[in-house]
Structure 1
Amino acid sequence: MKSLLSAVALAGLSEAALRFGCFKHQNGSYQQVPIMANDALPPGIQGGMTIYYTQQDFFSNGNQKITSFPKGFRMTAGKVTATSKYSKGLKFVCLQNKSTRFPELDEFPTQKCVGGIMTVHHFPACWDGKNIDSPDHQSHMYDTINDAFVNAGACPASHPVRVPQVAYETLWDTAKFNNMPWPTDGSQPFVLSYGDKKGFGTHADYMFGWKGDALQRAMDSSCMFNACENGRPLKSQQPAQMNACKVKSSVDEKLDGWLSELPGMGM
């Protein structure tokens, strides 16, 4: 694991499943858009999602007690069927380069982005302290997040336990398609796997999978960024180790090259 903030950033799949994104050609065919590694991580990492666990924000650990998620905990952010803005924590960034973080947009940018498009998922950080899940995977949590990595508001009495602020960043290499024919109506030809061309239905899943009390020790530490590595208090990995951690695809369907329809639509 590669520590980046007061907790950790993970390269690869780990606790979350990466969503499938495609470029839609004017002729109606699709091609998978590859994922790029975040430049906050070491060179040599082959794609993957960056996962942040922060105590407060990018600038301070704050002074609140942060309680680690319990074993078996899970939650979701966003809703796949949403047709309008679902929550503040779901954002897109038109990248000029891999370090671009602003402005954060509520839907896909319509212009060509020279560095690709970043999807951001901020999870709620207030827990009811009782349930490790709920029927909708969201009611046991309360979202006080502001836009971007800004310190969230105080937790309400109904959800009084402050847990780590989890956020996902996924960088899509849409720039490789910038010389392709684009829609004549000015829309963005990047679509998510279920046909969403606005991005309102962007969503993410979280399942707690840390070993022992490692995350709690990270939240109790005053370290930030790379100072958390090498046993202080977290162990770290080199890019070769990260790249070797892969999940074999379970999809029995053509995913490479130009596709006549989105994956799964013909099933």
Structure 2
Amino acid sequence: MTGDIGEKGSCTTCAYTEVDFSNYWTAVMYFRHENGSYKRVPQYPNAQLGYEGQNATDIKGGMTIYYTQKDFDTNGDQYITAFQPGFRMTVGSPTIDTLDGSKPGLRYTCLQTILTRGFETPDFPDKPCPAGIMAIHHFPACWDGKNLDSPDHQSHMYSTTKGGFREAGPCPASHPVRMPQLAYETMWNTTAFKDMWPKDGSQPFLWSYMDSKGYGTHADYVFGWKGDSLQRAMNDSCMFHKCGSPGMQGVLKTQTVAEMNKCAVQNTVEENTEGWLDELPGQKMGMAFRA
């Protein structure tokens, strides 16, 4: 999709309504059974998303999006330039299959509880996780100040991220413009498979492009905030729900969980992707990258 998608969207699954129509994407996680069949791992909502009068467990989906100026403790005093209409970028690559090639900020957390944070690894957890697996994607925050995109969707940005929601390092002269530190947390509910762990102890989860190591994890972003709404948020000193939530006045307008859940995209995939599958979706079309 090209152009200003913020002016094309009619609804959003995000808490902030009338403003955030951005596109957020990551690959789908699957479980591979010992008998060779596959099943899609469901997502579940981040428990941190509940706010006044709203229950996080009612939210459909499991991706949380963060736009931070500095870190989780303060906004800092540096001016943050919001993404511009037509801006897009990706992070990570499905072709990376070694630890040496893994990038800072692309990590996994084996959730001991739904509130577990920290203890990040660059590859899939090697044992069953009591509350599932959280996949984390930290995007670069340094822009060249000129290009809204690049042929590889990455060269117009430069990463100084340190991961863990710490403040990224200074931007280089080639990419001098500081933008929001964008990050995804995706909660994958692997608990249904805890009693199906392979007898040989091998790690049974993989991404939809046949990556069972996890080093190739990647994510896409297409900016779609309306007007100057994101810039106003970056200019404000608010953090988290204080930027706006039902019953709490803030710089951004919000919607209820029920209103979020009404927004959905019609499924246009012709291939079966649910239940136990003999092979991953897309393999018949030659879309898998590697075994």
Q: TM-score, normalised by structure 2?
A: 0.86
Q: 2:191 aligns with which of 165, 170, 175?
A: 175
Q: Is 1:35 the equivalent of 2:43?
A: yes
How far is 1:102 from its partner? 1.3
How far is 1:249 from its partner? 1.4
Q: Is 1:253 the equivalent of 2:271?
A: yes
- Is the CA contact 1:77–1:205 (under 8 Å) kept in the aligned structure 2? yes
Q: What SS does the aligned partner of 1:206 have? A: strand
Q: Deviations over 1:166-217 (max 9, x none)?
A: 000101011111011x234422211110111011111000100000000000
Q: Partner of 2:289 in structure 1?
A: none
- Using a 3 Å threshold, how does the CA distance of structure 1 residues 14 and 248 change in structure 2: closer, same or farther? farther
Q: Partner of 1:81 in structure 2?
A: 95
Q: Is 1:91 the equivalent of 2:99?
A: no
Q: Partner of 1:220 in structure 2?
A: 235
- Is the CA contact 1:79–1:86 (under 8 Å) kept in the aligned structure 2? no
Q: Partner of 1:189 in structure 2?
A: 204
Q: Partner of 2:224 in structure 1?
A: 209
Partner Cα separation in structure 1 for residue 140 and residue 75 of structure 2 = 17
Q: What SS does the aligned partner of 2:233 have? A: helix
Q: Deviations over 1:22-62 (max 9, x none)?
A: 11000000011101101111221012311110001111101
Q: Partner of 1:19 in structure 2?
A: 27
Partner Cα separation in structure 1 for residue 186 and residue 254 of structure 2 = 21
How far is 1:17 from its partner? 2.4
Partner Cα separation in structure 2 for residue 32 and residue 14 of structure 1 = 25
Partner Cα separation in structure 1 for residue 142 and residue 89 of structure 2 = 12
Q: Partner of 2:280 in structure 1?
A: 262
Q: Is 1:131 the equivalent of 2:147?
A: yes
Stretch of structure 1 that moved more, 247-256 or 211-220? 247-256
Q: Is 1:165 the equivalent of 2:181?
A: yes
How far is 1:89 from its partner? 1.2
Q: Deviations over 1:142-184 (max 9, x none)?
A: 101103111111111111100000000101011111011x234
- Is the CA contact 1:35–1:47 (under 8 Å) kept in the aligned structure 2? yes
Partner Cα separation in structure 2 for residue 200 and residue 206 of structure 1 = 19
- Using a 3 Å threshold, how does the CA distance of structure 1 residues 148 and 59 change in structure 2: closer, same or farther? same
Partner Cα separation in structure 2 for residue 128 and residue 18 of structure 1 = 24
Partner Cα separation in structure 2 for residue 138 and residue 209 of structure 1 = 18
Partner Cα separation in structure 2 for residue 187 and residue 149 of structure 1 = 31
How far is 1:126 from its partner? 0.4
Q: Which amino acid aligns with 1:256?
A: E
Percent identical among aligned pairs is: 57
Q: Which amino acid aligns with 2:227?
A: G
Stretch of structure 1 that moved more, 183-192 or 257-266? 183-192
How far is 1:254 from its partner? 1.1
Partner Cα separation in structure 2 for residue 112 and residue 14 of structure 1 = 33
Partner Cα separation in structure 2 for residue 48 and residue 149 of structure 1 = 19
Partner Cα separation in structure 1 for residue 213 and residue 267 of structure 2 = 27
- Using a 3 Å threshold, how does the CA distance of structure 1 residues 20 and 198 change in structure 2: closer, same or farther? same
Unaligned ranges ≥5, structure 2: 1-13, 286-291
- Is the CA contact 1:22–1:30 (under 8 Å) kept in the aligned structure 2? yes
- Is the CA contact 1:2–1:41 (under 8 Å) kept in the aligned structure 2? no
Q: Which amino acid aligns with 2:278?
A: S
More helix, by proportion:
2
